[in-house]
Amino acid sequence: MKKLALLVAAALMCASMAACGSSSSSSASGSASASTSGSASASASTSTEATASGEETTGDTLIMGTNAAFPPYEYYENDQIVGIDADIAKALGEKLGKEVTIEDMDFNSLITAVQTGKIDMVLAGMTVTPDREENVNFTDSYATGIQSIIVPEDSEITGPDDLAGHKIGVQESTTGHIYCADDYGEDNVIAYTTGANAVEALKTGKVDAVVIDNEPAKAFVEANEGLKVLDTEYTVEDYAIAVSKENTELLDELNTALAELKEDGTIQSIIDKYITAE
Ligand code: GLN
């Protein structure tokens, strides 16, 4: 985890140099191409060669959309997007005989991007929710996510009940955002473009807690002195791949490939590569 912690620290530094805040105007953009040749490893050769925005999908390329500030699922290693989702996408691409390229964008933009065909699929630690299911189709789940609470080490907040009346930082449009706004009121929630920006706000005292998925929470805490993840789970969720409702063929292909990758242990070995048991 040490290496990951350093990377997260670097990502946080980048995030803090960029315009932080609740505005979604500082949009993350860029793309990296993940080669499907070779093993599904984080070191697979990638380049920053862009897939032109809005370009129609060709038959042998799959464009994955993500928000690459969500370690260990997706984050930058130099100019490459790596992580559990990137590796799973590559393994799926290998099964389907397609090259996978990755588009980095705001989490908030992913559903629209897949609906309009800018990207073919979303792998972004995205939780299956009934609202999202109205707009996109989800594959079978490939991982479990937990919404966790990060606080300063000396915080009086010990669990979800203590969040009432406090300022809570979240990542815009995530389930953490939606649930916290429902449970504690929109006025108590400050939404940031990335989880890294929300953690930065916690460090500088702009918010009292951050609600975010458990694995990124652990990575952020590891990379930042003076913070801790509370033991209590706020919610438990299923991560799945989102595809356009129009593209049922891709949905079926992905589900078949996913089942094979679960069966032969590939998915578990990818998860184990990034998440070490404590
Ligand atoms: N699992 C959360 C959601 O789907 C957060 C995902 C993310 O920030 N990448 O809303």
Give me the residue spans of the domains in the chain.
7-139+240-274, 144-236
Q: Are the folds of 7-139+240-274 and 144-236 the same?
A: yes
Q: Which CATH number fits domain 7-139+240-274: 3.90.1150.10, 3.30.360.10, 3.50.50.60, 3.40.190.10?
A: 3.40.190.10
**One pLDDT digit (tens) per residue for the chain, 278 residues:** 444 544 454 444 444 443 333 333 334 445 554 433 333 333 333 333 334 444 444 578 999 999 999 999 999 999 999 999 999 999 999 999 999 999 999 999 999 999 999 999 999 999 999 999 999 999 999 999 999 999 999 999 999 999 999 999 999 999 999 999 999 999 999 999 999 999 999 999 999 999 999 999 999 999 999 999 999 888 999 999 999 999 999 999 999 999 999 999 999 999 999 998 66
How far apart are the CA of 32 and the centre of ligand 1, in A? 20
Total residues belonging to the chain: 278
CA of 126 to the centre of ligand 1 (A): 5
201 residue type, one letter: A
Instruction: List all residues 6 or more positions away from 64 whose beta carbon is below 8 Å from its beta carbon.
Output: 34, 85, 86, 89, 100, 101, 102, 103, 119, 120, 121, 122, 123
Looking at domain 144-236, its CATH architecture is 3-Layer(aba) Sandwich (3.40)
Q: State the distance from the centre of ligand 1 to the C-alpha of 160, rounded, in angstroms.
A: 18
Is the minimum distance from the CB of 110 to ligand 1 under 6 angstroms? no
Q: Which atom of ligand 1 is nearest to the CA of 129?
A: 4
Which residue, by CA, sits nearest to atom 5 of ligand 1? 174
Residue nearest to atom 10 of ligand 1 (CA): 174
Q: CA 257: distance to chain centroid? A: 21
Q: Is the CB of residue 179 below 6 angstroms from any atom belonging to ligand 1?
A: no
Cα 97 to Cα 59: distance, rounded to the nearest angstrom: 10
Write the DSSP symbol of residue 161: G
**Distance (Å, whole) CA 59 – CA 93:** 12
